[in-house]
Structure 1
Amino acid sequence: MSDYQAAVAEPEIAEPEVASPKQKPSQKQETKKQPRYSVILWDDADHSYDYVILMMKSLFRHPIETGFQIAKEVDASGKAICLTTTLEHAELKRDQVHAFGKDELIARCKGSMSCTIEPVSE
């Protein structure tokens, strides 16, 4: 290479050093999980299986088969878990069940089914 080429050659640019965050080796990044809550549907004699199946499909997006299983469980054991989720979502679903209205298939029915939320023990 000639003296001219050496004088005109572009200088090499060093890559800048990037500072890495200081983290202790034993320190782990843990994601904190939100507490879980179950939405519980309670049995009564004023609502039909068809009502429960329709409600499970409309509010919880459960297939008809799952709605039927929940209706059977409510009838047999007095209650059934419809969904386990975060507190805010569980509260919303409970309120939607309460607002679902009466069962038009049963004349004595006065309103919606009972529904509560309970924390899941972990």
Structure 2
Amino acid sequence: MLATNSSQPGVLEETEVFVKPTFSGPWKVVLWDDDHHTYDYVIEMLMDVCQMSIEKAFQHAIEVDTLKRTIVFTGELEHAEFIHERIISYGPDPRMTSSKGSMTATLEN
């Protein structure tokens, strides 16, 4: 981005202004509800991907089912991207024939 600086009347100087993008946290990984994954899948996936206890994973399974979304991770961008990638590449739920892929997750800042 360029800004102008007037040190003398009638004289304009160009000055470069660098705007640093905001990559700092907290970033959130949001898991979205669907009808193609069981509670067991959600619990197992969260225990594996996010290293959650079974109790905490179960609470997220309830939350995603009732509120249609749940925040499963909050932190720095690099770690959030890692968690997000693992969720969206986890694969289908073998318990459901309608499950064709992983659950949907998004990053939010």
Classify the TM-score, shorter chain.
Answer: 0.7 to 0.9
Matches within 5 A, 1:60-75: 60-75=50-65
Normalising by structure 1, we get a TM-score of 0.69
Name structure 2 gaps, 5 residues minimum.
1-23
Normalising by structure 2, we get a TM-score of 0.77
State how far apart, in whole Å, the 1-side matches of 2:77 and 2:25 are: 7
Name structure 1 gaps, 5 residues minimum.
1-33
CA RMSD of the aligned region, Å?
Answer: 0.6
Which stretches of structure 1, 4 residues or more, deviate above 6 A after TM superposition?
none
Summarize deviations over 1:91-114 as a string: whole Å, max 9, x none: 111000011000001111100000
Match of 1:96 in 2: 86
Which is richer in strand? 2
Aligned length: 86
State which of 94, 100, 105 in structure 2 corresponds to 1:115. 105
Match of 1:57 in 2: 47
Q: CA deviation at 1:35?
A: 2.2
Percentage identity across paired residues of the two chains: 41
